[in-house]
Amino acid sequence: MKRFIYNELLRINIERVESKKMSNTVSTNEWKVPEGCLVNGKWVETAQQFSVLDKFSGATIAQVYAADQDLVATAIRSLRLAVGAGAPAPHERAQVLRRAAFGLEAHRDRIANVMVAEAGFVTSDAHGEIDRAIITLNLSAEETTRLIGGMVPFAASPGAHNRVGFTVRYPVGVVCAITPFNSPLNTVLHKVAPAWGAGNAIVLKPSAYTPLTSALLADILLEAGMPPEFLSVLQGEGDTVGSWLLKEEAIAFYTFTGSTRVGHIIQAAAGLRRTQMELGSIASTVLCADADLESAIPKIANATFRKAGQVCTSVQRLYVERSIVDDVAERLVRAAATLPAGDPRNPAVRVGPLITEEAAISTESRLAQARQLGAKVLCGGERQRSVIQPTVLINVPDESNAWCQEAFAPLVALRPFDTFEEALESANATPYGLSAGVFSRDINRCMKAARTLRFGTVQINETSSARSDIMPFGGVKDSGFGKEGPWHAMREMTEERLIVINP
């Protein structure tokens, strides 16, 4: 019965969405995508435009209007007024998020096509992103209706036992979400959905590489009933639109996913205002001799090469116990051979292009340097325009950029270890601490890793790149602070107020 109701709701929503033309859109070949900036429910055209490229062919697929400083100020004033008037009730906000989840399903193929073009995702990665985004919306809807504080045990304080105390959570105000190219839908929703669920107004600045997915998402949110005065989308570059947003004192909270360098800039500008940062990473996974290699190797290959390695938690350093290093290297090379790279529209392709040809050239240079320093390329490394073939390296020295800098490319560097402690120490010896993985059947080793590895997440018998959208996700050290995950993000984006009643 529940399944029938779900299917009927989905059918009705698809018919309703498809029967209504998306607002203020222009045609870009196969889809209609808003190409302006969203302020007060209207897509605004400005004097400046920038090109959006197909990441495989390099062809221009859209010209998007970039916000100017006056439009940024106008958007923030509007959002501030919306916050002052107050958001709809929690159950209404939850309904918007649930309807938006239906909207994503209704527009699934359209959104997937956009991500394949502007992000370079292979089709399976694009649909996986949509699947996860639907989960994130529904989780956020659930948390919206149970965002509560807690009781204060005044009985523990002498003379205060008759008091009643409890906390209540209120929205912080205007939330600014600055989002990356490598997850243009789900990471955006990990910021926008909890912010709205908590009752905030949101200004979204997507990556200039992938603005179209966010534009489609915004139209879906408006179609789902989100009040237009609570959402703005400002397109453009970080050094212009991003910088102007940092000057807007009415913004109460910044949530950012991107480089550590930009994170420092945002944090310096935010001052005493609150922030949540997911920043750089050099993700490590430790593979012990007692691990189940039949299970571990496919996971490692997927975590290394998925989205062309452009994931903050992609396995870059793979520590392998010396007795199995030859076997692991052979297995990984075989696994890489089953993941052809190329045109993401080709169903046989599993690894798409990097975000720019410049990024691919930089990766090519990184691999050349590793070879010069003595590393051996076991497979891959060839470049064709923006595509890099899945690459497995071994004997990579510490000073090589492929080892000591975040690669953000489809490559993994194997390093043998003799003692478990040696592997843990090396994994910890970076400025970053986002996520790590350990494969072992030895419970003592697993517990030691959990205690020793200074990362925001330590995965046992999983890679560094495994993530469920309900879990708290964030880093330590130069990988940032604060947590994503709807329950956790809503608490980041609310103020806790203590109410004390003294009879």
Span 296-350, pLDDT tens digits: 999 999 999 999 999 999 999 999 999 999 999 999 999 999 999 999 999 999 9
Report d(CA 264, CA 430) in Å as an integer: 17
pLDDT of residue 32: 78
Mean pLDDT, rounded, for 455-481: 97
Q: Which position among 248, 278, 484, 492 bears the catalytic label? A: 278
**CA-based R_g, the chain, Å:** 24
Mean pLDDT, rounded, for 51-56: 98
Q: What is the pLDDT of residues 273-311, one digit of tens each?
A: 999 999 999 999 999 999 999 999 999 999 999 999 999
Whether 317 and 411 have beta carbons less than 8 Å apart is answered as: no
- Point out the least confidently predicted range of 21-25, 214-218, 408-412, 496-500: 21-25
Residue 404 annotated in active site:
no
Distances (CA, A) of 245 to 69, 170, 190, 310: 9, 23, 20, 26
Phi-psi label, residue 308: left if phi above 0, alpha if psi -120 to 50, beta otherwise: left
pLDDT of residue 406: 97
Q: Is the pLDDT of residue 387 over 80?
A: yes
Mean pLDDT, rounded, for 31-55: 94
Model's pTM, two decimal places? Answer: 0.93
Whether 465 and 410 have beta carbons less than 8 Å apart is answered as: no
pLDDT of residue 92: 98
Instruction: State the residue for tokens 């209007």.
Output: 65
Report d(CA 367, CA 76) in Å as an integer: 44
Share above pLDDT 90 across residues of the chain, in percent, rounded to a whole number: 93
Helix pair angle (325-337, 293-305), 10° resolution: 50
Whether 153 and 499 have beta carbons less than 8 Å apart is answered as: no
Q: How many residues does the chain have?
A: 503
Q: Is the pLDDT of residue 7 over 70?
A: no
Q: Which of 141, 202, 142, 198 is nearest to 170 (CA)?
A: 198
Report d(CA 71, CA 32) in Å as an integer: 23
Report d(CA 491, CA 2) in Å as an integer: 31
- Residue 30's pLDDT band, with cuts at 50, 70 and 90, is very low
Whether 210 and 62 have beta carbons less than 8 Å apart is answered as: no
Q: What is the pLDDT of residues 107-141, one digit of tens each?
A: 999 999 999 999 999 999 999 999 999 999 999 99
Q: Is the pLDDT of residue 374 over 60?
A: yes
pLDDT of residue 446: 98
Structure tokens at 295: 């299970």
Q: What is the pLDDT of residues 463-474, one digit of tens each?
A: 999 999 999 999
Report d(CA 114, CA 24) in Å as an integer: 18
Q: What is the DSSP letter of 88?
A: P
- Point out the least confidently predicted range of 1-5, 255-259, 326-330: 1-5
Domains and CATH numbers, the chain: 2-279+481-497 (3.40.605.10), 284-468 (3.40.309.10)
Q: Is the pLDDT of residue 1 over 80?
A: no
Mean pLDDT, rounded, for 93-117: 97
Distances (CA, A) of 278 to 206, 235, 432, 471, 483: 15, 21, 11, 15, 8
Q: What is the pLDDT of residues 261-276, one digit of tens each?
A: 999 999 999 999 999 9
Mean pLDDT, rounded, for 214-239: 98
Q: Is the pLDDT of residue 28 over 50?
A: no
Phi-psi label, residue 426: left if phi above 0, alpha if psi -120 to 50, beta otherwise: alpha
Residue 278 annotated in active site:
yes
Average pLDDT, the chain: 94
Residue 442: count of CB within 10 angstroms of its CB? 15
Q: Are strands 387-388 and 383-384 parallel, antiparallel or unpaired?
A: antiparallel
Q: Is the pLDDT of residue 2 over 90?
A: no
Q: Which position among 288, 312, 406, 492 bears the catalytic label? A: 312
Q: What is the DSSP letter of 242?
A: I
Q: Is the pLDDT of residue 19 over 70?
A: no
- Residue 4's pLDDT band, with cuts at 50, 70 and 90, is very low
Q: Residue 205: beta bridge partners?
A: 178
